[in-house]
Amino acid sequence: MSNSAIMRLRAHHVCCMPFWTGAMEGRGSRFEEKEAAIKALFRSAADRLVAVTEGVDELCSECPLCVDGRCASPDGDEDAVRKWDTILLSELSVDFNTRLTCRQWRDLIELKLPYKLCRRCRWQSRCRVGSSLKSAD
């Protein structure tokens, strides 16, 4: 992938991955490399464009839980994941297929944190935003 290519990501990967601190066991080295690349992208590639996909994305395509183009995770299948993606986009007041630079995503996200969804997120302890909520309770 070239540095100028648009990265296509699900909403929760845009909204949550920059804050994710947990390990996702058993996903394999290609998944781990892509996860690291996404985190690095949001840290440093301010002008790189990221488009929000409806459905599976570039990280899912490296994930062993992606089956026949759908998320088959026992923690939340494709229908559940699409619901979370829809909720997060609505919190950011943007639609699927929105394209923004990493800087614009970061600025938008900063205004909205913590998301309402964070309060009922089961991964709070694996995320900097969720952990700060727990410690503030």
Which residue ranges make up the site for ligand SF4 (CB under 6 A)? 15-16, 19, 56, 59-60, 63, 65-66, 71, 73, 81, 115, 117-118, 121, 123-124, 127, 129-130
Q: Which is nearer to ligand SF4, 47 or 125 (CB)?
A: 125
Q: Shortest Cβ distance from residue 115 to ligand SF4 (Å)?
A: 5
**Complex with ligand SF4: residue 4 or 135, whichever CB lies closer:** 135
Query: 44 or 120, CB closer to ligand SF4?
Result: 120
Task: Pull the structure tokens for residue 45.
Answer: 């590639």
Smallest distance, Å, CB 101 to ligand SF4? 20
> Cβ closer to ligand SF4: 7 or 71?
71
Separation of CA 131 from chain center: 17
Closest separation between CB of residue 73 and ligand SF4, Å?
4
Minimum CB–partner distance for residue 85 and ligand SF4 (Å) = 9
Q: Could you tell me the two tokens for 61?
A: 């395509």
